[in-house]
Each structure stands twice: as structure tokens, then as C-alpha cells.
Amino acid sequence: MEEKKDNDKVEIYSQRVRAGKRTYFFDVKATRANDYYLTITESKRKYKEDGFFYEKHKIFLYKEDFDKFVNALTGTVDHVKTELMPEIDFSQFEEKNKDQQGQQAVQVESKSDLGEELSWE
């Protein structure tokens, strides 16, 4: 469980997706009133003279927008797959990522302090 910056909001569940030089964090957090929301953070490692730092971009997603967000994301991805790039077998990327495990492959890691799976579906 994490207690930091976001006004002491408690992290309930987290999923991390590594994708090359970027990492995406999907975190479920609770407010003091026991309401839940999702933060999606893109973290990209950048270099500067004295080392490196992480550039972060964050989206806050509230429960009343979950379905709209998922529908828009699914519809957009489906459009790209079926209309713009129908010749691409997207399952090849999943296989490639399995083969490159531990390198720049996409990896998903989850943790849940609730002891149960949370999902958008």
C-alpha cells in the first residue's frame, strides 16, 4: 500500500505495463470518503547531463467515466486494427513480447491490497 503525494490518497490496486522506454501505471486509489478512482500514469526515462530523470504524465479517471473511457479506447483500438491496419496480425506482438521477457518487452505486473481482482469489465 502506498501513501504519498496525492494528498495521502491510498493506493488500493496497481498494474504496471512496461513498453520499451515507457512504463504505464494503472492505479486504483481511494479518497477519504471511500470513493475510488483510477490514475493512469505514463513514465518515460529521460537523460540529462548528470544522470536521468522520469518525465511523468497523469490522467485521473473517475467512476462515472469508466464505461465511456473503456468504450472509447476499445472502439479506437478496434478501428485501427480493422480499418487502418487490417493486414497486421497484432497477436505477433504478444508472442514477441513473451520471447523478449525481461528486456524491452511489454510486461504487466499487478498487486492488490484487497485480495481480489478488480477489472474494468
Residue 68 maps to which CATH number? 3.10.450.700
For residue 9, the model assigns a pLDDT of 61
For residue 98, the model assigns a pLDDT of 64
29 is a domain residue: yes
- State the burial class of residue 2 (Cβ atoms within 10 Å of its Cβ: 0-12, 13-18, 19+): middle
Cβ 81 vs Cβ 88: under 8 Å: yes
pTM: 0.67
What distance in Å separates the CA atoms of residue 81 and residue 21, rounded to the nearest whole number? 23
Strand partners, 107: 18
pLDDT tens for the chain, residues 1 to 121: 444 454 556 679 999 999 888 999 999 999 889 899 999 999 998 888 888 889 999 999 999 999 999 999 999 999 999 999 999 998 888 766 665 554 444 445 555 554 444 444 4
For residue 20, the model assigns a pLDDT of 86
Domain range for 65 is 10-112
From 3, 33, 27, select the one nearest 14 (Cα to Cα): 27
Identify the DSSP state of 9. Answer: P
Number of domains in the chain: 1
2 is a domain residue: no
Upper half-sphere CA count for residue 71 (Cβ side, 13 Å): 5
71 is a domain residue: yes
* φ, ψ of residue 80 in degrees (nearest 5): -60, -45
Identify the DSSP state of 80. Answer: I
Cβ 100 vs Cβ 109: under 8 Å: no
